[in-house]
Structure 1
């Protein structure tokens, strides 16, 4: 067995399941080289890169025309799917551990252990129940959401074009076709579109611009192949790859004929031999070695963490005060310690992980019903926080169904010759597939021209890239000469043309004719047509290989003009986004005239337009000012789009980017939330956080609103818990200083907290007021602290009223009567805590102007009923509670009514002064 196969088998035996690799664990572009792969792996891969092709094929037990179906199936069963471990769900036991392992559950566990050591079995049971419920609810909710997410993500699988082996004579013909013709032929008879999970070592794959490299591969044939591999090597510019290796180069990443999983094709075409898949790739091995590297927290995670630690710090300050006051006034330090720990539990929002997960999962399910797939749950909150949406024009503001409207000569007159040349170019090109080529090939006038391609033989191809913005094919109709046919953006085409075809004659492209050419193209643009120039030249039949250097001295023969009408939903969607505080900016590679026409049709103001060449001359400060003044940016390269997105983020904006092409991938990665579509190129889908199964911009509005509803419901829980718990602790401090007994036993405090937490399980399913989703929402820990200090003491006012009621009206003044006192405050505390759910869930008047969702009404009503009945139930003695006298209940109603009225009044004051997010 060769070295590489031995490494594969060893790796498979030693692989670890679980989430081993975070998306951000690899070095960022330009930062530096990735970590080194194990020496045995590097040596084996370099050996395959430098070995003769026949030897490499033999090593992998492959063939010149790829693998047969039975061979591929056997390898897939033996080696497993082509995916790294991070794509697999955690084992249930590790998921359960992660659900348990948070600061709040750990604090509860400490309290349970202390209770058990002090032989307080009741407290141990209650605290253990709280830990169990918190962990299991989160485990069940996350499990359901993870399974749903996996099912949804399965709908958006990336694919690869694979050459699977034929048999007999057909196999020999295909081998000669691919390795002899060097991709000059048309599409292969045995080419298949397969999920990248189904690739195995020994497969042959076809690559073109926009494709992700799905595995570690050796290049077999290449034509102007440039690959972006910054994630692996830190090189900021694309690297050209060739079919030949370099025997003098020992470094793995320097091999000119090796392609690595996770990189992508920028331009050109190739056929490659798959050397390694899944965990056995360079990407997979580095993932193993980088598993300890922590991912960079997102803005959402940072916000959650800041809120959590705010509450924890508050507990660390308040709990020692409770301990000292009760220890000094009661003299029982062990009981004071247990009570202080119970207060600490009351201050910790132990249901926060479950609430967060449930609200995000519910948001993902809601969006999935609108054919929106959420690849990363945190992205839902970013949707709600987004205040700037940057979008490409083609296919997003406009429809996918581009139609060929005109084919004219250089001065705007209809021309069949131009249509013929455009047809030949689109028919024979094998690089980046786009809607323009499809429109040419599907044009109704060309049905009779289908025999045209049979009269020509393809000689070579110069693939498209986003710097040249053109592509060429070379064909031969007669063996005495070749014809280089080039099409592309008008300005870039004029740069390589020296003559124009006028009335069948080639005339110099002088200033007068150049002015007429520009006038003709501008007139087409002003009609809303996208113009592609077509040029050609004849070359000697002796030339066999062509490159970008041959694109000069061309003759401009005319233009093909396409109509890309705006989407019917675009204008309505833009208005809806603007109404919800989301500014829309257009970033496109198209020219100013076409873009201005489309923007006018969809109601997007485009009085002043900034172009890519202008951006090139600007520094960062000038770009920041330009972004404030302009909404439409045209003639942009991929790096221009990325630079603009980063500039917006530097201004503190939460930026979304919607795009579907290879030229959008850098901007998708740079944005806070990348949005793409199912029909996008692989690299765009990989870079995106959200995938739209339909290009309907109205779905974006729904996504924004759903994100804000999700955020609002999370914020409700945090506000309720923080303010209510602060009020309880303040009341405890006051009562502990003056009462000769504890205001509530530790067990009672724990039960009260448990019931209160259960009442909030339905918060993720609550309604959200329309006013709360009109503007972008972001984390603001300072506002939460202010909210807690403002509303927390309100409950303390009524807690003190309850203390006075029990002390003066019902004479619960001695340790012998403490059960009555504690029962009275237990009921008031639980009911006011539960009532605050409805008071704080909305800035409006609860129950009258804003009603909670039925699940929340049912849950809070049930918990309030339990709180009222528990002191009178058979379980009262177990919790050391006792029945309350009949005269207590009118006072309870008065306390609750007064609490609701005062909270409503002060809420209006708070909103006038600080607002309500």
Structure 2
């Protein structure tokens, strides 16, 4: 608009010609390919990730995956094998008990709530006859009570069987069943029960309690879970994955911290975590979280490695606290109670075997519940983000500097440095190699650390490279104008077209890497596009349709100047790049 106003209002240029030039400059300065580049880059990234068993449901999640700084995950299936087995059934004194196993089987067999690995492990360990058992009622599991009750009739007796987290089952009990079948008060046994629980938990074993009570009421209520008898313990094993330690190290090397969020007790979580390399972990329990203010939660969320005994709603609180601290948070979950956390995270991740609600809430789905797959997904996400940023930097550096130079020259020169259709031709030729950035290779150091959109960084980049680019443009203006005279606009436009197009290709080569560009291997398609457009640019002034484009056949000296300035431009941009990444990039 400014160029148009100056040319028409102050210089008396023709309205139509000035409008065309102003419009062409506006089009040239706009990164019009950004939506297309972003879509192509993200689609290419999603295709590559699918080969690594990572399915992307929302393409923009790829960038968040690459920017992720913290991954929150349950331990089951990620740090552990995810194949829960009934390791032992113990009576109150700690001896193996078939009675405990039988009662647990009836509880697991007759419950009709959501499927879960605990009940599956109980049923798979051993079957007991059920033909003479009648199910009467049940109280489904919930994440507040943390127990499940089933009422059955056997041999004429109505029996309530309750299993769940030991502490929550003990809340319902007043007596225990000893080895000889007699009942005794819970009190004298409480210390031994707690000691056994701690011992098993420290070994990485998950311990549930099992209690019974005869109930004759016609309808079962939660209030009936009282005055029960503790019969024994159900001990479950889920060993750590053999490669869990290595995978966690790979995440750390990529700058991604791992925080374990689990409903298991702190002793089990700590034991498993230590066995996979999370030494001296800072542990926060669900009880601790309930006592924290919002500000204190923000601090503890940043410091903690493990969140144990956590309730479903607390998972979302943890994630929001981490995001408040500036982290890009990923959450890996597969259960009903993970849906809100998956929505709250910057990138929600689930697995193909997850419940429907978890898969629907997730943006990324792993075909296998394995952190190793996710590591590869993070790498591909960073490649995708890096290639997207390459185009952004090219658009703001090359286009801004080039169009700024043209705008200034259009105001002060006696003729147009480039006609409107020539400006658009330069822009069109630059688009082909820019599109090929979707499949460009990425230097390893650009994958090593998380990257994110930073407006301040982009502005500093634009100012540094844009104005440096304009300086070389003005040098080219001067060289062509004074060597070949200012009375040959077609010759000037020809030389400026060649130099500006080649300079655009040069800066694309320079800014695609933080290394000296000769030390970074470009992608094959990108290199082919750059070389092809270089040859086409040099050929156009000599082509049969050169005159129709407003060009003339240039003398050899003009081409030497154009190529020489392009070379100096590349050297100059390398110097600017080195100074930028040393002094300005990390402000």
Q: TM-score range by the shorter chain?
A: over 0.9
C-alpha distance in structure 1 between counterparts of 2:11 and 2:538, whole Å: 31
C-alpha distance in structure 2 between counterparts of 1:859 and 1:578, whole Å: 37
Q: 1:503 aligned to 2:179?
A: yes
* Residue 119 of structure 2, aligned match among 419, 424, 437: 437
C-alpha distance in structure 2 between counterparts of 1:856 and 1:404, whole Å: 56
* Residue 889 of structure 1, aligned match among 556, 559, 564: 559
Specify the alignment match of 1:463 in structure 2: 140
* Residue 409 of structure 1, aligned match among 91, 116, 119: 91
**What is the CA distance between 1:323 and its match in structure 2?**
4.3
* Residue 327 of structure 2, aligned match among 653, 656, 660: 653
**What is the CA distance between 1:736 and its match in structure 2?**
2.8
**What is the CA distance between 1:793 and its match in structure 2?**
2.3
Q: 1:488 aligned to 2:159?
A: no
* Residue 769 of structure 1, aligned match among 435, 443, 447: 443
CA contact (8 A) 2:443 2:513 kept: yes
**What is the CA distance between 1:606 and its match in structure 2?**
4.5
CA contact (8 A) 1:656 1:675 kept: yes
* Residue 836 of structure 1, aligned match among 507, 531, 551: 507
CA contact (8 A) 2:159 2:212 kept: yes
* Residue 418 of structure 1, aligned match among 83, 89, 100: 100
**What is the CA distance between 1:704 and its match in structure 2?**
1.5
CA contact (8 A) 1:807 1:821 kept: yes
CA contact (8 A) 1:418 1:558 kept: yes
C-alpha distance in structure 2 between counterparts of 1:515 and 1:577, whole Å: 41
Specify the alignment match of 2:386 in structure 1: 712
C-alpha distance in structure 1 between counterparts of 2:5 and 2:391, whole Å: 27
Specify the alignment match of 2:572 in structure 1: 902
Specify the alignment match of 2:272 in structure 1: 598
Aligned runs of 1:578-657 on 2, under 5 Å? 578-657=252-331
**What is the CA distance between 1:343 and its match in structure 2?**
0.7
Q: 1:878 aligned to 2:548?
A: yes
C-alpha distance in structure 2 between counterparts of 1:795 and 1:640, whole Å: 52
Aligned runs of 1:340-379 on 2, under 5 Å? 340-379=22-61
**What is the CA distance between 1:564 and its match in structure 2?**
0.4
C-alpha distance in structure 1 between counterparts of 2:121 and 2:230, whole Å: 21
C-alpha distance in structure 2 between counterparts of 1:759 and 1:322, whole Å: 30
C-alpha distance in structure 2 between counterparts of 1:322 and 1:706, whole Å: 45
Specify the alignment match of 2:471 in structure 1: 797
Q: 1:819 aligned to 2:467?
A: no
TM-score (norm 1): 0.62
C-alpha distance in structure 1 between counterparts of 2:492 and 2:33, whole Å: 29
* Residue 861 of structure 1, aligned match among 531, 540, 554: 531
The unaligned stretches of length 5 or more in structure 1 are: 1-318
Report how many residues are paired: 587
**What is the CA distance between 1:716 and its match in structure 2?**
0.7
Specify the alignment match of 1:60 in structure 2: none
Cα deviations across residues 652-688 of structure 1 (Å, max 9, x unaligned)? 2211111111121221111111111111112211211
Specify the alignment match of 1:337 in structure 2: 19
SS at match of 1:430: coil
C-alpha distance in structure 1 between counterparts of 2:466 and 2:187, whole Å: 78
**What is the CA distance between 1:322 and its match in structure 2?**
5.6
Specify the alignment match of 1:3 in structure 2: none
The unaligned stretches of length 5 or more in structure 2 are: none
Greater shift, 505-514 or 572-581, is seen at 505-514
C-alpha distance in structure 2 between counterparts of 1:651 and 1:795, whole Å: 38
**What is the CA distance between 1:544 and its match in structure 2?**
3.8
Aligned runs of 1:39-54 on 2, under 5 Å? none
Distance 1:510 1:423, change over 3 A: closer
Q: How large is the RMSD of aligned CA atoms in angstroms?
A: 1.7
CA contact (8 A) 1:536 1:555 kept: yes
**What is the CA distance between 1:455 and its match in structure 2?**
2.7
Cα deviations across residues 4-35 of structure 1 (Å, max 9, x unaligned)? xxxxxxxxxxxxxxxxxxxxxxxxxxxxxxxx
CA contact (8 A) 2:503 2:566 kept: yes
C-alpha distance in structure 2 between counterparts of 1:678 and 1:606, whole Å: 33
C-alpha distance in structure 2 between counterparts of 1:786 and 1:330, whole Å: 37
**What is the CA distance between 1:802 and its match in structure 2?**
2.2
Specify the alignment match of 1:846 in structure 2: 517
Specify the alignment match of 1:14 in structure 2: none
TM-score (norm 2): 0.97
**What is the CA distance between 1:326 and its match in structure 2?**
7.0
**What is the CA distance between 1:757 and its match in structure 2?**
1.3
Distance 1:856 1:327, change over 3 A: farther
Aligned runs of 1:685-724 on 2, under 5 Å? 685-724=359-398
SS at match of 2:252: helix
CA contact (8 A) 1:391 1:584 kept: yes
CA contact (8 A) 2:28 2:399 kept: yes
**Structure of higher RCO (CA pairs closer than 8 Å, 6+ residues apart):** 2
SS at match of 1:679: coil
**What is the CA distance between 1:563 and its match in structure 2?**
0.7
C-alpha distance in structure 1 between counterparts of 2:275 and 2:292, whole Å: 30
CA contact (8 A) 2:476 2:496 kept: yes
**What is the CA distance between 1:753 and its match in structure 2?**
0.9
Cα deviations across residues 569-605 of structure 1 (Å, max 9, x unaligned)? 3222211111111111111110011111110111123
**What is the CA distance between 1:914 and its match in structure 2?**
1.9
**What is the CA distance between 1:879 and its match in structure 2?**
0.4
CA contact (8 A) 1:498 1:553 kept: yes
